[in-house]
Structure 1
Amino acid sequence: MRDATHITGVPPTDLLSFGDQVLAEERRRFNAANRDHRRFLITARLGVFAAALILWEVASGTIIRHFFIAAPSTVSVALYRWAVSGELWYHAQFTLTATFLGYLFGSLAGILLAWPLGIMRTLYRITEPYFLVAYSVPAVAMGPVFILWFGLGMTPKVVLASYFVFFIVFINTVTGFQQVPQGLLDVTRVMGASRIDTLRTVIFPNAIPYVLAALRITLPAAMIGAVVGEFIASNRGLGYLTRAAASRYSTAGVIAGVLVLGGIVLVMSLMLRPLRHALRWQDAVEVKGGAD
């Protein structure tokens, strides 16, 4: 049999070196194409944003009355006044605190409760109707109930934010536990695996993508819960600041509050990028109870 040298006239070591060079060149081209694509996306997004701002500025006061849509320049003035006076930072700290505490407590409660129920399927079938009834109640409707129970301080906002987070994490964690094929569980038992080994090597790895996917979308949900609580009854927080602007018929203040809340949610989404990267190696997971 002829070796590579007889066939190609090139020693095998040179062929390997040539192959490495080809792969390196292709990798360089791929990275360059990715960078160009990212630059195009950033430029296009900035262009759309600038065009929207210009159209908004022109339309306000000419096509649409200032009372309904304040111009970006007016909104910027309202934001500047809030920032200079300290109102923005003062109210933002309460909203962010309620959001992160609600996210933490809701996520932990959802995972810890889903753990035994996801493994003991019969117990979950018994309790499932009660969870479905509780989940069917609109979370916003629970705001006055929590305020009645816990007063007007920080506690009802944290509880409401946790309520928004809990069911999404709980349902998806249970789904992750129950998606393990029964045949795979039977094989592990036949091979002599203990319950702890089955949990560690089969059940938990299968549930992780569902848990991460739920955690990825529930931080903005926690923000919604905290703000809803502030809208209903509060004297501090970004929800209160926006509601106070609406009570004064300050369109610029209302839009400024909405923009601040949207900016915070955007920053939160960027903070959750590591979870997106962690999910890339997993198969596509359908997240229940929320939208991306």
Structure 2
Amino acid sequence: MSAASAAEPALPAATAPGTDRVPPLSAGSGPVKEDLNRTWWDKFGHSTIVWGLRAAVLVAFLTLWQITAGPVIDITFVSKPSLILERLVDWITDGTLWTHTWITLQEILLGFFFGALAGALVGYLLASFNLLYQVLDPFMLALYSIPKVALAPLFIVWFGIGMDMKVLLAAATVFFLVFLNTAAGVREVDRGLIDAVRLMGGNRRHVAFKVVLPSSMTGFLTGLKVAIPYALIGAVIGELVASNQGLGYLINASAAQFDTAGVFATLVVLTIVATILNSGVAVLSKRINRWKPLDEH
């Protein structure tokens, strides 16, 4: 055996010529494996702490309210949690709460749906045509600046005091918020993406549905989130101005009788409705934005 052949290191069996075996990875090389056997606390510990602190803040606030209402603050103006709970139980038992809540909920959902649908379509179409958007934008902003409370008497003249008036008032409130946010999302689309699609042979339809529409979803969803409380405001304002049913009517009737507990009980129900609607939009946002990186959700 020559010195050259003696000095040449022997090849491992796994890399010998004519074999397909792969040598085992040495320690410290290759992909890092993460142990997926996490404990319950590792998965839900942070959210548990957050929700626990939220509950603690709520309990502390209600306790302080209950203690100070009467001895410190006039109960006529602020009521107290125990009286509010008692009023809610009474209304649930005799069916008052279910009847009026269902009326208001229909007005909110219908107004939110039609207002959001119209706002998204008009915002997307107008923002897609630059000249048309520049011409109509000042008029849309002028209409948006009109207080929606001022529209209620006009809507009563046009549509009466039935449910249609409340639905349209809620829809008019939602429309402008969704329109402005959707239009802003369309106009802020990255021009580089549009140019890239066109360089690859894409036509206007490809640009509209593959680039502009997905990119404008952020503005659209922002408009939905912002519009939820305004849908409630529109429906309740219509009921406050002229109605004999709904949660707005309950607020009016309770206030007329100096029933502060009834007013606060109705506000609690409206808060719960708004929370449920916000949660629904949050779920929708996660499903629509699945294509985005996790840190952008």
Normalized against structure 2, the TM-score is what? 0.84
Describe the shift of the 1:149–1:41 C-alpha distance in structure 2 as closer, same or farther (beyond 3 A). Answer: same
**Structure 1 Cα separation of the partners of residues 58 and 253 of structure 2:** 28
Counterpart mapping for 1:201-240 below 5 A: 201-240=210-249
1:60 aligns with 2:72: no
| Structure 2: gaps (5+ residues) | 1-8, 15-22
- Provide the residue aligned with 1:177 in structure 2: 186
1:12 aligns with 2:19: no
**Structure 2 Cα separation of the partners of residues 217 and 284 of structure 1:** 19
- Provide the residue aligned with 1:156 in structure 2: 165
1:131-173: CA deviation from partner (whole Å, max 9, x where unpaired): 0110111122212221221100001100111011101111111
Counterpart mapping for 1:255-274 below 5 A: 255-274=264-283
Q: Choose from 90, 94, 103 the match for 2:99.
A: 90
- Provide the residue aligned with 2:35 in structure 1: 24
**Structure 1 Cα separation of the partners of residues 185 and 195 of structure 2:** 18
Contact 1:230/1:240 (8 A) holds in 2: yes
Q: Choose from 79, 83, 92 the match for 1:74.
A: 83
Normalized against structure 1, the TM-score is what? 0.85
1:222-244: CA deviation from partner (whole Å, max 9, x where unpaired): 12211111111111001111110
Counterpart amino acid of 1:43? Answer: G
For residue 220 of structure 1, report the CA deviation from its aligned partner. Answer: 2.7
Q: Choose from 99, 104, 118 the match for 1:109.
A: 118
For residue 114 of structure 1, report the CA deviation from its aligned partner. Answer: 1.8
Counterpart amino acid of 1:65? Answer: D
For residue 183 of structure 1, report the CA deviation from its aligned partner. Answer: 4.8
Q: Choose from 121, 128, 142 the match for 1:119.
A: 128
Residue 77 of structure 2 aligns to a residue whose secondary structure is coil
Describe the shift of the 1:171–1:34 C-alpha distance in structure 2 as closer, same or farther (beyond 3 A). Answer: same
**Structure 2 Cα separation of the partners of residues 180 and 47 of structure 1:** 43
For residue 200 of structure 1, report the CA deviation from its aligned partner. Answer: 1.7
Q: How many residues align?
A: 277
For residue 79 of structure 1, report the CA deviation from its aligned partner. Answer: 0.9
Counterpart amino acid of 1:210? Answer: G
1:73-117: CA deviation from partner (whole Å, max 9, x where unpaired): 111111111111111000011100000000110011111212221
Contact 1:161/1:222 (8 A) holds in 2: yes
Contact 1:220/1:268 (8 A) holds in 2: no
More displaced 10-residue stretch of structure 1: 190-199 or 242-251? 190-199
Describe the shift of the 1:15–1:153 C-alpha distance in structure 2 as closer, same or farther (beyond 3 A). Answer: farther
**Structure 2 Cα separation of the partners of residues 14 and 239 of structure 1:** 72
**Structure 2 Cα separation of the partners of residues 72 and 18 of structure 1:** 61
CA RMSD of aligned residues (A): 2.8
For residue 72 of structure 1, report the CA deviation from its aligned partner. Answer: 1.1
Describe the shift of the 1:188–1:277 C-alpha distance in structure 2 as closer, same or farther (beyond 3 A). Answer: closer
**Structure 2 Cα separation of the partners of residues 74 and 80 of structure 1:** 10
For residue 124 of structure 1, report the CA deviation from its aligned partner. Answer: 0.8
